[in-house]
Amino acid sequence: MKLQPDARFATVCIHAGQEPDPGTGAIITPIFQTATYVQEELGRHKGYEYARTQNPTRTALEANLAAIEGGKAAFAFASGMAAIGAIASLLRAGDHMVVTDNTYGGTFRLFDKVLTRYSLDFSYVDTSREDLIESTITPRTRMLFIETPTNPILRLTDIARAAEIAHSHGLRLVVDNTFASPYIQRPLDLGADLVMHSTTKYLNGHSDSVGGIVIAARDEDIEWLRFVQNAAGAILGPFDCWLVLRGTKTLPIRMAQHNINGLALAQFLAAHSKVRRVIYPGLPDHPQHELARTQMRGFGGMLSFDVGSFEAARTVLNRVRLHALAESLGGVETLISHPATMTHSSVPPEDRAKLGITDSLIRISVGIEDVEDLKADLAQALEAID
Ligand code: P1T
């Protein structure tokens, strides 16, 4: 079962970090649902002392995700937000971070409402524009934090260029890779220093666990993240680690189908008379379609579209039957949401307006059902708009 160094992506997803249980031969890493480990004698143990510090199910997941993202080490946290909090703990009071303006609303909330209390400063810019990244960097800037594609406007940042800019100023580049998944893009290969995910989404893929992961490339970051994971203690529990491990085994086939369904649904909506605009990186009219073609492998399962008014959006959201009206994304089932009042309600209305998160915008996390059923469901809901 030794994974060869040249193993390809789908093989890595299934095998990296996975060894049969030495005690029983169980092919699947067990859920080590324990709080502590018995020591043979004082100071002699099997490498496990206390389950906040180490847990074999978590170790297996972390090794699996480090390999999937092409990093040196990974650290699993209780949520995507806890993972972002751990990354921010690399900063010190007085430091400044440049952040993609259209991040997930919860990321903005953590930075704006919590971390500014600890004398950290944040500037939010359109990181698809290199000139804006450059002009926002100050002598106190230590980190560039990008989301690509963004939630929910699906704007892209050129990761390789962002890495060059960050490194020329001595900054770390952090990429929130939640919307794409490592099947679609691997930011560490493009020069990023840290990658994070809400594992709640595509990595777990079945909408039955909340979690987060940080994958790191640099030794100094790895040392700090290992320390802070234990010191602050926002760890992912063993059952959730096991669920995400089960999810990553099917990541490639799920993502391939998300890509197919995402494009098909985007094309269907773009041709519909009741739809004003569809935002999807795979459509030729997406402002960064060319970058998407080179930076991403497929265009993903996330799309947003505008139906012209809040009333029309409400009609669609209330009329769909197969699409579930819910926050979150990345599961096998299709979810539909209203960013302005749901995922991005913590972003001030004037900022939402600037970003294009209008009251008439609807977001879909396209699942892997038969796409004809999804089209039929949207068709009957759109028909009800006056
Ligand atoms: O929900 P949590 O696992 O804490 O992850 C936060 C998070 C981080 N980054 C991105 C890009 C995200 O989309 C999220 C969570 N997003 C949703 C819940 C949502 O519906 O958009």
Looking at residues 253-267, what average pLDDT do you find?
Answer: 98
CA pair distance 197, 215, nearest whole angstrom: 9
pTM for the structure as a whole = 0.98
Cα–Cα distances (Å) from 291 to 8, 134, 258, 284, 288, in that order, read 24, 20, 19, 11, 5
pLDDT at 134 over 80: yes
Q: Is 352 helix (H, G, I), strand (E, B) or coil?
A: helix
Residues of the chain with CATH 3.90.1150.10: 252-382
Q: Say if CB 148 and CB 159 are below 8 A apart.
A: yes
pLDDT recorded at residue 386: 87
Provide the CATH topology of domain 9-249: Aspartate Aminotransferase; domain 2 (3.40.640)
Mean pLDDT of all residues in the chain?
A: 97
Closest Cα to atom 16, ligand 1: which residue?
A: 328
CA pair distance 23, 352, nearest whole angstrom: 54
Closest Cα to atom 5, ligand 1: which residue?
A: 80
Token pair for residue 52? 């906040």
Closest Cα to atom 4, ligand 1: which residue?
A: 80
Is any atom of ligand 1 closer than 6 Å to the C-beta of 210? yes
pLDDT recorded at residue 237: 98
The answer for residues whose C-beta is within 8 angstroms of residue 165's C-beta and 6 or more apart is: 130, 133, 134, 137, 144
Q: How far is the CA of 198 from the centre of ligand 1 (A)?
A: 6
Percent of the chain with pLDDT over 90: 98
- Please report which confidence band the pLDDT of residue 67 belongs to, taking 50, 70 and 90 as the band edges: very high
Q: Say if CB 374 and CB 334 are below 8 A apart.
A: yes
Looking at residues 99-115, what average pLDDT do you find?
Answer: 97
Q: How far is the CA of 251 from the centre of ligand 1 (A)?
A: 18
Question: What secondary structure letter does DSSP report for 184?
Answer: T
Buried b (16+ CB within 10 A) or exposed e, 154-191: bbbbbbeebbebbeebebbbbbbbbbbbbbbbbbbebb
Residues of the chain with CATH 3.40.640.10: 9-249
Amino acid at 47: G
pLDDT at 97 over 80: yes
Looking at residues 273-282, what average pLDDT do you find?
Answer: 98
User: What is the chain's length?
Assistant: 386
pLDDT recorded at residue 1: 61
Looking at residues 346-362, what average pLDDT do you find?
Answer: 95
Is any atom of ligand 1 closer than 6 Å to the C-beta of 80? yes
pLDDT recorded at residue 174: 98
Q: Is 375 helix (H, G, I), strand (E, B) or coil?
A: helix
What is the pairing mode between strands 96-100 and 121-125? Answer: parallel
Closest Cα to atom 20, ligand 1: which residue?
A: 328
Q: Is 95 a catalytic residue?
A: no
DSSP 190-256: GT-SEEEEETTTTTT-SS----EEEEE-SHHHHHHHHHHHHHH--BPPHHHHHHHHHHHHTHHHHHH
For the CA of 212, the nearest atom of ligand 1:
3
pLDDT recorded at residue 2: 78
Burial bucket for residue 332 (CB in 10 Å: 0-12, 13-18, 19+): middle
101, 126, 158, 176: the catalytic one is 176
Question: What secondary structure letter does DSSP report for 181?
Answer: -
CATH of the domain spanning 252-382: 3.90.1150.10
Is any atom of ligand 1 closer than 6 Å to the C-beta of 105? no
pLDDT tens for each residue of 145-180: 999 999 999 999 999 999 999 999 999 999 999 999
